[in-house]
Amino acid sequence: MMRLAIRFVCALALSLTSCGAIRSGNRNQGSEREIGIVNVSGSNVEIYWTNPLNKQLHLTSPAPYLEHGDAFELGSYVGHSFMVKELPSKLGNCINGDDPDDPKKCGRAYFKVSDGANKNTFQGMLL
């Protein structure tokens, strides 16, 4: 199973430039969140933001991908949803897929920014 550590920190001030990939969504005062993501999965991953208006996915992680051990932060809002997608190795195999008999099937995980405490840590498993 893939592990991804995600740290949510309440942002006191969020400039538009700090959330370039966030184009729309709930922008009510107090709903801003700074999200720190650390890849502890053992695989390379991509993080996508899901546009709430049309459900299209937008790559938000650094290009070309987030390597094992890499971290990045992005600005977001309560209610925004994200998908984590495992990428295959150079040999074309994945280690976090839900089918142990099919190493070509890569894992995926989903998370949503909540309105809970200002500081949370979440560790998710890739499905």
Q: What domains can be seen in the chain, in order of their start residue?
A: 3-125 (2.60.40)
51 pLDDT higher than 50: yes
Global confidence as pTM: 0.71
Q: How far apart are the first and last CA of the chain?
A: 7
CA–CA distance, 56 with 36 (Å, rounded to integer): 22
For 101-111, what is each residue's pLDDT tens digit? 888 889 888 88
| Whether residue 34 has pLDDT greater than 90 | no
Q: What is the pLDDT of residue 81?
A: 92
- Whose CA is closest to 35, among 61, 16, 56, 68? 61
Contacts of 5 (CB under 8 A, 6+ apart): 37, 38, 40, 121, 122, 123
Mean pLDDT of the chain: 74
For 55-95, write each residue's pLDDT tens digit.
999 999 988 899 988 988 889 998 899 999 999 999 999 98
Higher pLDDT, 24 or 111: 111
The CA–CA distances, whole Å, from 43 to 57, 87, 107, 112, 114 equal 20, 7, 10, 22, 26
Which of 33-37, 52-56, 58-62, 119-123 is predicted with the least confidence, judged by mean pLDDT? 119-123
Specify the range with the lowest mean pLDDT, choosing from 7-16, 32-41, 60-69, 90-99: 7-16
